[in-house]
């Protein structure tokens, strides 16, 4: 089939892209490997899964009617509620008729002769299109599990990133969880309520803060929604895609008592960024950062009764916030239950998974079920999961061999009419994703409208502008503490992946201004052809 635009992925990015382009009268086809909309929220159905951005923020702002009519029930929405919201949006705006579900795109090749993209599905169908838009998500390809013997385990194996639709039952079972990132930290307290024993295998402890989740009060929501547009505007021009907190002071400028009072207030707030926006130097100065880390260590020790377990749960290998922070509901408390235990893999690494359980260097423990919460090939995994070839058959995989290179995280030189939504080099995972998704989709839609008006057929970044942007992204990251951590932001969780800080950490507001200014200057840094 022939289309004006092909969109890969029907998560929040793909759905809104489809909406915008269809409103402009383009013929658009979305391809989605899952059997429903929702992207990350379609797959990550593990027990306890919920968003760590507040529901009133983590939602579309493009339709005033939509944002007024949809009622979130909790401060932090559960996965089923978010998936329900995604389906509501798809139905309300008649999106599903343009989405081919259960259809994985395996390759996209740019044809220089016709100036069209040729995309091929796993079933071998081919489609041509002027524009190819990747809405493939930043955390959608699970990391291949690098533990020997997982296929030998005779019990049940589960992966948080592709949880079965039929809910497993852990009642009376001995369960192991491998990993202590956000997914595990949400899963563990819920599975602990059911399992007869729960053993958590931790390689690197994570910093987590209580989410202070609660039911939303209708009156509170009504008042909030009266000022929704103002709130959304503040988010658009913020650092992280939610309204900024003023942070004029250095953590080292104040005395310990004042500092702890500020941290206590931030802790009570229970948001991902409340602690890190307490002072202006926490992300830049290790000594300042240590004061926040020590505060969290004290909080962990106040909760966890067994001193050895508390010690193991206190992260000490990276500055706080340089690996993605976590929000939890009862994570640390969980370890006070007699049937929950922690295995510190720093002391006794995993040797292999056996038929009966997990063997670490000190002993083999037997289980009925193992849950792998081992993370994702973030940011580039899903893009490179499609075999992409641009002009002159240049391969994106080869171009990105030493790390992703893009202009503004929106386009790649040598790949005409290819757009990335929240690609590497843009704020993406460093922000409230929906704010960044809407900004990219609006920018791309406006760009395509401009091309139509001007009778232009192709757009691609100029290679010099692209390199300058990549250098800028690195310079901004290198001014912070972020590159010092072995995080998935750096690709460090995937053996052999280039070590490059992938998102842009300059802030959503600054980045939006840059993108708007590029467009206003006739798409400065892009090459447009008739
Ligand atoms: P993650 O943060 O990458 O955590 C993976 C965990 O598995 C880490 O503790 C890691 O240890 C461990 N691990 C990986 N391979 C291992 C191995 N071979 N042996 C032992 N341990 C191993 O992944 P995630 O928890 O799925 O979260 C990824 C991101 O998704 C989050 O940072 C967040 O951005 C997003 N997320 C958001 C939410 C939310 O909105 N609430 C929920 C879940 C996820 P090491 O650190 O030592 O590698």
Report whether pLDDT(246) > 90.
no
Distance 186 CA to ligand 1 centre (A): 11
Q: List pocket residues of ligand 1, CB cut-off 6 Å.
A: 50-52, 139, 146-147, 178-184, 186, 201, 203-204, 324, 345, 350, 373-376, 488, 493
| Mutational test site, ligand 1, from 181, 271, 331, 491, max ligand atoms within 8 Å of CB | 181
Give yes or no for a contact between 141 and 377, defined as CB atoms under 8 angstroms apart. Answer: yes
Distance, CA 265 to ligand 1 centroid (Å)?
Answer: 27
CB of 410 within 8 A of CB of 423? yes
Which residue's CA lies nearest to atom 31 of ligand 1?
Answer: 182
The Cα–Cα gap between 422 and 424 comes to 7
- Nearest CA to 293 among 236, 229, 208? 208
Q: Tell me what pLDDT residue 389 has.
A: 98
Beta carbons of 4 and 26 less than 8 angstroms apart: yes
What band does 247 get if pLDDT is binned at 50, 70 and 90?
confident
**Mean pLDDT throughout 393-422?**
98
Q: What's the pLDDT at 288?
A: 98
Residue 41 phi/psi, 5-degree rounding, is -80, -15
As a whole number of angstroms, the distance between CA 368 and CA 515 comes to: 52
Q: What span, in angstroms and rounded, lies between the C-alpha atoms of 124 and 120? A: 6
Q: Is the dihedral of CA 254, 259, 261, 265 positive or negative?
A: positive
Taking each helix axis as running N to C, give the angle between helix 433-454 and helix 228-236, from 0 to 180 degrees, rounded to the nearest 10. Answer: 80
Residue 99 pLDDT > 90, yes or no? yes
The CA distance from 269 to 210, in Å, is 9
Query: pLDDT tens, 83-98?
Result: 999 999 999 999 999 9
Q: Tell me what pLDDT residue 456 has.
A: 98
The atom number, within ligand 1, closest to the CA of 180 reads 9
Q: DSSP label at 24? A: T
The whole-angstrom separation of Cα 432 and Cα 508 is 9
Contact 322, 430 (CB under 8 A): no
* pLDDT value of residue 245: 86
Distance 315 CA to ligand 1 centre (A): 14
| pLDDT one-digit tens code per residue, 301-344 | 999 999 999 999 999 999 999 999 999 999 999 999 999 999 99
Average pLDDT, rounded, for the chain: 97
What tens digit of pLDDT does each residue of 50-90 get? Answer: 999 999 999 999 999 999 999 999 999 999 999 999 999 99
The pair of structure tokens assigned to 379 is 């940011």
Pocket test for ligand 1, best of 148, 183, 371 (most atoms within 8 A of CB): 183
Residue % of the chain over a pLDDT of 70: 100
Contact 97, 28 (CB under 8 A): no
Find the DSSP H helices in 104-241.
182-194, 218-226, 228-236
Locate the ligand 1 atom nearest the alpha carbon of residue 488 and give its number. Answer: 3
Residue identifier of the C-alpha nearest atom 34 of ligand 1: 324
Distance 499 CA to ligand 1 centre (A): 17
pLDDT value at 484 more than 90: yes
- Separation of CA 428 and ligand 1 centre (Å): 17
Q: Atom 35, ligand 1: which residue's CA is nearest?
A: 182
pLDDT in tens, 126-173: 999 999 999 999 999 999 999 999 999 999 999 999 999 999 999 999
What CA–CA distance (Å, rounded) separates 246 from 92?
38
Query: How far away, in angstroms, is 373 Cα from ligand 1 center?
Result: 6
Nearest CA to ligand 1 atom 45: 204
> What is the predicted pLDDT for the residue at 6?
98
């Amino acid at each position: 089939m022939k289309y004006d635009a092909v969109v890969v992925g029907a998560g929040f990015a793909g759905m809104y892209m489809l909406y915008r382009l269809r409103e402009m009268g383009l013929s658009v086809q979305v391809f989605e490997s899952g059997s429903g909309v929702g992207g990350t929220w379609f797959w990550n159905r593990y027990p306890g899964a919920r968003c760590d951005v507040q529901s009133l923020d983590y939602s579309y702002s493009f339709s005033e009617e939509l944002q007024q009519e949809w009622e979130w029930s909790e401060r932090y929405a559960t996965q089923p509620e978010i998936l329900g919201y995604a389906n509501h949006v798809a139905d309300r705006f008649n999106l599903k008729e343009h989405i081919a579900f259960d259809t994985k795109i395996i390759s996209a090749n740019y044809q220089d002769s016709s100036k069209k993209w040729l995309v091929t599905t796993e079933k071998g169908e081919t489609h041509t299109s002027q524009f190819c838009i990747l809405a493939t998500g930043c955390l959608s390809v699970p990391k291949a599990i690098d533990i020997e013997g997982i296929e030998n385990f005779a019990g049940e194996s589960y992966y948080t990133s592709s949880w079965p639709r039929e809910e497993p039952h852990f009642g009376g079972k001995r369960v192991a969880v491998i990993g202590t990132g956000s997914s595990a930290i949400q899963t563990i307290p819920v599975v602990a309520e059911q399992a007869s024993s729960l053993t958590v295998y931790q390689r690197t402890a994570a910093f987590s803060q209580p989410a202070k989740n609660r039911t939303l009060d209708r009156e509170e929501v009504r008042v909030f929604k009266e000022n929704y547009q103002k709130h959304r505007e503040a988010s658009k021009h913020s650092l992280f895609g939610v309204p900024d907190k003023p942070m004029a002071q250095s953590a080292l400028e104040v005395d310990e008592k004042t500092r702890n009072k500020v941290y206590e207030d931030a802790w009570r707030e229970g948001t991902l960024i409340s602690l890190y926006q307490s002072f202006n130097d926490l992300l830049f100065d290790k000594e300042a950062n240590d004061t926040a880390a020590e505060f969290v260590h004290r909080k962990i020790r106040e909760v966890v009764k067994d001193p050895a377990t508390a010690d193991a749960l206190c992260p000490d290998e990276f500055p706080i916030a340089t690996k993605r922070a976590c929000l939890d509901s009862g994570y640390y408390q969980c370890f006070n239950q007699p049937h929950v235990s922690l295995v510190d893999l720093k002391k006794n690494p995993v040797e292999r998974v056996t038929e009966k359980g997990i063997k670490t260097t000190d002993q083999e423990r037997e289980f009925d079920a193992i849950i792998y919460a081992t993370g994702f090939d973030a940011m580039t995994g899903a893009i490179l999961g499609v075999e992409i070839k641009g002009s002159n058959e240049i391969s994106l995989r080869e171009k990105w061999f030493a790390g992703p290179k893009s202009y503004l995280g929106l386009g790649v030189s040598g790949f005409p009419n290819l757009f990335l939504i929240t690609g590497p080099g843009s704020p993406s995972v460093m922000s409230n994703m929906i704010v960044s998704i809407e900004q990219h989709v609006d920018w791309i839609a406006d760009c395509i409208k401009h091309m139509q008006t001007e009778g232009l057929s192709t757009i691609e970044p100029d290679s010099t502008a692209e390199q300058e942007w990549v250098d800028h992204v690195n310079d901004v990251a290198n001014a912070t503490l972020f590159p010092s951590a072995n995080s998935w932001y750096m690709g460090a969780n995937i053996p052999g992946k280039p070590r490059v800080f992938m998102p842009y950490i300059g802030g959503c507001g600054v980045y939006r201004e840059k993108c708007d200014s590029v467009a206003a200057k006739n798409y400065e840094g892009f090459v447009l052809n008739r």
